[in-house]
Chain A
Amino acid sequence: AQSVTQLGSHVSVSEGALVLLRCNYSSSVPPYLFWYVQYPNQGLQLLLKYTTGATLVKGINGFEAEFKKSETSFHLTKPSAHMSDAAEYFCAVSAVDSSYKLIFGSGTRLLVRP
């Protein structure tokens, strides 16, 4: 079955440190890939997406992600964490059987220490 794996349910970084949230997926066809962010008691907001073209994609709030087909990965990074980045982050991949359906990872909660 198709899957999305986010390594680490919780990641803790210091303010100003590099943020790295990992996402690996399975797909038998070229996927669409997404990262979403969820702040407490809110819905999910699109951070960035990869559909075609350049494999390094930039999103909102200084985040970026790189699609690596050989590694089936789409890791999310930010050079310098800010306190406001504390949230839960979800990786998602388009379903093989219908591209408009997304398969979500289980989420990674990012904690930012002062």
Chain B
Amino acid sequence: DVKVTQSSRYLVKRTGEKVFLECVQDMDHENMFWYRQDPGLGLRLIYFSYDVKMKEKGDIPEGYSVSREKKERFSLILESASTNQTSMYLCASSLSTGNYGYTFGSGTRLTVV
């Protein structure tokens, strides 16, 4: 079965730490996405990548960066974690054609204390 795998389901980090969230897909998808999900705010796009080493800012990129060195892996980096980055983080991937939609990972619930 095809999958998007997020390395951690739950993470607790301290304020100021550098945090890495990892996402791996085994479907040879060109596009990968990072969202955060907060109650009442729905899904908000942080960054996406349409090819290796290519990235574009989404709606809320401040405080985040990303890395895509290999097609199957897309990392989200919190340079200096803050309490307002406590959230559910969702990774997704898709084909370039778009008509198959996204495949999502199970999510990482990050708590910054």
Contact = CB atoms under 8 A, between A and B. Distances in A.
Contacts of B30: 100
Given A41-B109, A43-B90, A105-B42, A92 B101 contact: yes
Contact of B96 (A43, A90, A100, A107): A100
The secondary-structure label for the interface of chain A is loop
Contacts of B41: 106
Interface residues of A, number: 24
30 contacts: A32-B99, A36-B104, A41-B109, A43-B6, A43-B92, A43-B106, A43-B107, A44-B90, A44-B102, A46-B101, A49-B100, A49-B101, A90-B42, A90-B43, A92-B101, A99-B97, A99-B99, A100-B94, A100-B96, A100-B98, A101-B48, A101-B98, A102-B94, A102-B101, A104-B42, A104-B43, A105-B42, A106-B41, A106-B42, A107-B42
Interface of B: 4, 6, 9, 30-31, 40-43, 48, 50, 90, 92, 94-107, 109
